[in-house]
Every structure is written in C-alpha cells, then in structure tokens.
Structure 1
Amino acid sequence: MAEVAYIGGYTPDTGGSGTGISAVELGSLTRLGTTPASGPSFVAAHPRLPILYAVGESERGTVGVFARGEGAPTPLAQRPSGGSSPCHLAVAPSGTLLAVANYGDGTVTVHRIEESGLLTDVWTFPYRDGAHAHQAVFGPDGVLYVTDLGADEVRRYLVGDRVEPHPEGPVRLAPGMGPRHMARSGDHWYVAGELDGTVRVYDDGWRELGAVAASTAEGGNYPSHLEVSGGFVYVANRGPDTISVFEPLTLARVAEVPCGGVWPRHFAIADGRMYVANQRSDGVAVLTLKEGIPQPDPVVYAVGTPSCVLPLS
C-alpha cells in the first residue's frame, strides 16, 4: 500500500465530502476519500493491526475504531471516551491499551484493546476542577504520562495488567506553564508550554534543565505540537504561525520559519518532509526539510480545519 496520510479535523473539508477523516496519498497528494466522523480532532494507529482510532471531540466524547485499506478508512465501532471533549489518544507499544485525554472534564481513560483491535474494558481517572488533560504518552518505563494544561502537571499512571495512579503522584511543572504536548528523546523529556510560550527540557527524573521562548516573534504565542526528530526539537507556534527548530539538550535556537498557513495545530515528519495541519487556513502545508530545516514555498493540500495529520505506510 502506498504511503498515506490520515487527516482529522473539525468542519467539512473543501472537497465537499463532509466532516471526517481524510485519506491522502503522500507522493501525489491525491485524495483517496473521506470517512464521515464527528470531530475527529486526533487520530492514532495500532502498531501492528491495520486499525485507526480517532477521538470524537464533543461534550459527550467518543472514540471511533476504523479499518485501514486502500482508500478511506472503514468505520468498525464507536464507544464513549469516558469524558468530555477528548482531544488526544495514544496506543501503547504493546497494542493492548488505548489512552484518551479528555480535555473538557480533565479525565483520563484507558481502554483495553482486543486482538481484533476493538475496545473493551476501560479504566477512568477523574481529576479536580480546572484540570485539562491534553496529551497521553506511553513511556518506555511502563508509565503512562498525561500533560495537564490546567494544573501545570504531568500525571503518571502505572501500566500493567491493570492501570493505576503512580505511587509518587504527578510531576509538578512551572506554575502558569500550561503543558500541552511533550516528547521523549533518549533520557530527556521536552515539553511545550501553551500558556507561557516556552519549551522546556527535563532529565529522566523530571528535573528541569533549561527553558527558552518557543518563538522570537512579538505578540502572543500559543505553542501546540512538539516533536523530536533527526536530532532536532521542533515546535509549532500558533499566533506567530511558525515552526521553531532547536538543538536538543541546550535548546539553542537553530531556526524559526513560516508554517505555510495559519494556526499550526499539529505536524508530522516523514520521508524528509514536514506536514503541518494549519487549522485556520484550511490546509496541510508540506514543507521540505533541508538539513533538518523546513524550507519556504510549501505545497498546500486543501482540507477543512485540519487538526491532526498521521502519515503511515
């Protein structure tokens, strides 16, 4: 099967096929089809099965299960997410668990995945008022990490036959930071602060080693997605509408370039290109990477309010 990107978003795409998950062939940027879905703002893939999972970002949140094929994904099942306004999900490397961050009420839910890829048992972890779970990441240490934008914390859960809160509790980050997305590289964690506009690096024990502004532009900045790839740390900046590139560990700024649109909600890197989901300009910008730096004059694939792009082969 050719390399395909699955694009989730909020409103009907410009191809007229309605709200849903769009499948696009990466090489030619040919639309393969769109599967109707309600608010699929984030999409994740099973590590072994040809299965996709997507949140339904609404007051009564849902999680949809879809089969991958030659064209648009095929709906298989849908169930409650266990909270309101789910905005992120992640599949454990084992392929046996699916974690969902429910932004609206701050809950975290973990669903068991059957051998077929369908979802079954669920653990629900409520949290206090003001919490806003935003991203779930399975660490290599058997711990599920969840950024809490409202509480300036990274919540931790032990993952095994059961899922339970970490006995040492959450990791406390800088007050007012608003941690949104994070990524691990080697023995270090990198976290984007949506509320204070920073990027921070931590060691494996969550000791802060450094912090820098995510953008040098004047005015408000609300960093969204962060990723570590090819020896660089990349951060999307909403407001300045740029992608910043940093050296790892030192967080020395290498470059800051236009994102190819407006309000970069998410991006993904594959085969020497960066695919940026620019939510407010209705397009995914395809930026070529040269020595790790996104280049200007991107090709833009038109799609309505994209919020997530997932390239797969």
Structure 2
Amino acid sequence: MPSAMERVLVVGCRTTVERDAHGSGLATFVLDGGGRVRRVGHVTTVNPSFVVADPRYRIVHAVHGDGHEVSSYRIGPGGEVTEGVTRSCEGRNPAHLAWGPGRAGVLVANHSSGSVASLPVGPDGLLADPTSVLDGLDGPHQVLVDAVSELALVPDKRADAIHVVALAGDGALRLLDSCPTPAGAGPRHALLDGTRGLLHVLDELSSTISTYWWDPGARARLGLLSRVPTLPPDADVGQWRAAELAWSPGRGRLLASNRSGAGDDTPGGPDADTIVELSIDAATGLPGSPTWHSTHGIRPRHFLVEGTERSTVVWVANERSDTVVRLHTASGGRLVPDTTVTTGSPTCLAWMEA
C-alpha cells in the first residue's frame, strides 16, 4: 500500500494495430517520496487514450479512442485497478473528456462523429448514460468549461473554429456561437486566463498558439489578438503537429508539446521531440519569448506540470518511445530528465493522490 508520501500515476495508452500501438490498457505506477517509481496495477482494455481522475471516489474515467465508449475504473489504496462501468458516448472516436460544472458529470468530445456528449456521475462516482448529445460539429477535440459563465468552449480541429456551448443544469447542451480561427490552424486544446479574459488555443496543424479575448456576455464572444509559433523558425511546419497545452505552476508561462511527423501514422523522430516554454507578458497576458526543451522521446501527446514557478516538474507521455519521462528544472532554467518509466504507447497521464 502507498505510504503518506506516495502518489499514484495513472497512464492511459493506445493499444490497437491500427494505431501501431504497443500498449495493453490502463496502468498505474506508485511514486514514492524519493522519486522511485514502480508499477502496481493494470487492466486490459482498448485505447484508454485520455483520462481524468476523480479523487472523491478514487475513480478514473477514460475514453476509448477510435471507439464509441467511455469507462470508469476504480483505483484501490495500493494503486490496483478494477473495472467499474462502460457507457456509450453516443459518438465515434472520443478524443477528450473534461469535468462539467461542479464535477457533476463529464463532457466528451467525439472527434470523428462531430459531437459532444454529457454524462452525469452517479452517487457511487461511476458514469451514467448520456443525458444530452450535441451533434452537427465537425471535429471537436476538447471541451473546456468556463467556471464563471458555465459556458463550454470547444476547439474544432476540422472546422477551424471555437464553438461556444451553453450547459444547462440538467446536462443539456446547446450551441450558442462558433468563432472562426485562422484557416488551416486545426485548433486542438485551449486554456482560459479568466483574470484577463483571454483564451489561449493550441493549433495542431499550424503549430501555433492563438490568443483570443473572451467575453462570454458579449454578442461577439471571441476575437483573435495574437499568434505565436511553437516551433523554431527553421522548422518545417508540415512535418510537425502540436499536441498539449498547459500552464506553468504560477501561470507565468505557457508550455506546449511538439510532435514530429505529419500525422499519427508517421514514425516521427529520429531526434527527440520538444516542449516549448513561452513567457507571459505581465501587462498584456500574451505569450512571448520561447525556450525549447527536449522531451527525451518521440510523440509527446500529453504532459503534466507541477512544482513551483522556479522549480518546475514536467511528466511527459512519449507515445512512440513507450516512455513517461520526468523532467525537472536545472541550472539555467533547462528542463532535464531524472526519471524514465517504460510503458507501451502512453497517451495521457493523471494523478490519483494516495
């Protein structure tokens, strides 16, 4: 059983031949106070490619990429994994799920079928059947909830748009507006800066971060302010795809991951991929000067950030390298590796506190 100083790292992965994957399901690892990692749990399942943790019930919810379902799994006190329930997400290829208002349920982005589904959480912490499905989108890749307005922002990679969706108390979803993004951008994931009224959007296909003003009460809710590249000036944008976007611990910087290769069916590499770190202008809130760090692996689809602004730790899921790498801040502000965990085709990470 984990001690008081240990945490459980939950790793989702890809498993199928169609994805050229090496994973076998959902895995858990225990991290002790000394930085040592050991594998403690596993359940065989298909493409648990994105996960969110619910520490209230010690449950993890996972989408099954390329499929039509989302599942709940219980995480035991020792990190062991047991199956809970599996529900239809009323769509194809769920790529992302996120908490709705008050963590009363989850919102699932069905990328291939162009829909968003709302699934409530039952009194036992397990997901129930969908209560609402919003159809008619093109390729939603994330659902981001504004906790203040209780509106959802949905980056749509195929439509080159950010959709604004109303969330009713009963879980009903209603499309309010769609804001176009630059052509060919492929908006993938986004973060809100609520204090400044800004939305930062990671564009997968153009490898840029686009920043918009965000006013949920206005007739026109979004407007483009700036675009900055996530790649060095000499990079061939067509051979890269941006993947994940996160704040630094003190929200003084943005971090984004860059994946080599023109798509999931390409090998990437041979050199390691990167995470770009962009400073945030204190006056405007806009991202500025970049610094690039090696992920010490290929295809960093997802990462987690923790620590402090001056001593940052980044856990990176390198899908093609079959590794999860822990990076920490060293002299000169460089992120350097100190721990590597081997696991097949990792695509998403989540912490479950012990």
Above 0.5 in TM-score?
Answer: yes
Q: Whole-Å Cα distance in 1 between the matches of residues 243 and 127 of structure 2?
A: 28
TM-score normalized by structure 1?
A: 0.91
**Alignment pair present for 1:312 and 2:341:** no
> Is the Cα contact below 8 Å between 2:25 and 2:44 reproduced in 1?
yes
Cross-structure match for 1:181: 189
Q: Whole-Å Cα distance in 2 between the matches of residues 196 and 153 of structure 1?
A: 14
> Is the Cα contact below 8 Å between 2:51 and 2:60 reproduced in 1?
yes
Cross-structure match for 1:9: 13
* Structure 1 gap segments, 5+ residues each: none
The 3 A distance-change label for structure 1 pair 247 and 171 is same
Cross-structure match for 2:244: 225
Cross-structure match for 2:134: 125
Cross-structure match for 1:259: 295
Give 2:231's match in structure 1, choosing from 215, 220, 223: 215
Q: Whole-Å Cα distance in 2 between the matches of residues 291 and 254 of structure 1?
A: 17
Q: Whole-Å Cα distance in 2 between the matches of residues 194 and 80 of structure 1?
A: 27
Which runs of structure 2 are paired with 1:79-158 in the superposition (5 Å)? 79-122=87-130, 123-128=132-137, 131-140=138-147, 141-158=149-166
Q: Whole-Å Cα distance in 2 between the matches of residues 48 and 197 of structure 1?
A: 36
Cross-structure match for 2:75: 68
Q: Whole-Å Cα distance in 1 between the matches of residues 117 and 332 of structure 2?
A: 36
Q: Which amino acid aligns with 1:6?
A: V
Query: Secondary structure at the residue paired with 1:127?
Result: coil
Deviation sequence 1:89-111 (CA, Å, 0-9, x none): 01225121210011111111111
Q: Whole-Å Cα distance in 2 between the matches of residues 117 and 292 of structure 1?
A: 44
Structure 1 residue 296, shift from structure 2 partner: 2.6
Q: Whole-Å Cα distance in 2 between the matches of residues 270 and 297 of structure 1?
A: 15
Structure 1 residue 289, shift from structure 2 partner: 2.8
Q: Whole-Å Cα distance in 1 between the matches of residues 302 and 333 of structure 2?
A: 17
Structure 1 residue 312, shift from structure 2 partner: 3.1
Q: Whole-Å Cα distance in 2 between the matches of residues 275 and 311 of structure 1?
A: 11
**Alignment pair present for 1:246 and 2:278:** yes
Q: Whole-Å Cα distance in 2 between the matches of residues 153 and 79 of structure 1?
A: 28
TM-score normalized by structure 2?
A: 0.81
* Structure 2 gap segments, 5+ residues each: 17-21, 216-221, 261-271
Q: Whole-Å Cα distance in 2 between the matches of residues 289 and 56 of structure 1?
A: 34
Give the root-mean-square deviation of aligned CA atoms.
2.1
Q: Whole-Å Cα distance in 2 between the matches of residues 106 and 294 of structure 1?
A: 40
Q: Whole-Å Cα distance in 1 between the matches of residues 124 and 211 of structure 2?
A: 38
**Alignment pair present for 1:30 and 2:32:** no
Query: Secondary structure at the residue paired with 1:89?
Result: strand
Structure 1 residue 253, shift from structure 2 partner: 2.1
**Alignment pair present for 1:21 and 2:23:** no
- Aligned residue pairs: how many? 305
Query: Secondary structure at the residue paired with 1:243?
Result: strand
Which runs of structure 2 are paired with 1:270-281 in the superposition (5 Å)? 270-271=306-307, 272-281=312-321
Structure 1 residue 38, shift from structure 2 partner: 1.0
Structure 1 residue 290, shift from structure 2 partner: 4.6
Q: Whole-Å Cα distance in 2 between the matches of residues 63 and 47 of structure 1?
A: 18
Structure 1 residue 292, shift from structure 2 partner: 10
Q: Bigger shift: 83-92 or 24-33?
A: 24-33
Query: Secondary structure at the residue paired with 2:103?
Result: coil
Structure with the greater alpha carbon radius of gyration: 2
Q: Which amino acid aligns with 1:247?
A: S
Q: Which amino acid aligns with 2:235?
A: E
Q: Whole-Å Cα distance in 2 between the matches of residues 51 and 121 of structure 1?
A: 17
Q: Which amino acid aligns with 1:202?
A: Y
Q: Which amino acid aligns with 2:89?
A: S
> Is the Cα contact below 8 Å between 2:300 and 2:319 reproduced in 1?
yes
Query: Secondary structure at the residue paired with 2:92?
Result: coil
Deviation sequence 1:230-287 (CA, Å, 0-9, x none): 2110000011710000112332124111111001101001234101111111101110
Q: Whole-Å Cα distance in 2 between the matches of residues 190 and 137 of structure 1?
A: 11
Q: Bigger shift: 157-166 or 21-30?
A: 157-166
Give 1:299's match in structure 2, choosing from 325, 333, 339: 339
Query: Secondary structure at the residue paired with 2:320?
Result: helix
The 3 A distance-change label for structure 1 pair 309 and 269 is same
> Is the Cα contact below 8 Å between 1:237 and 1:244 reproduced in 2?
yes
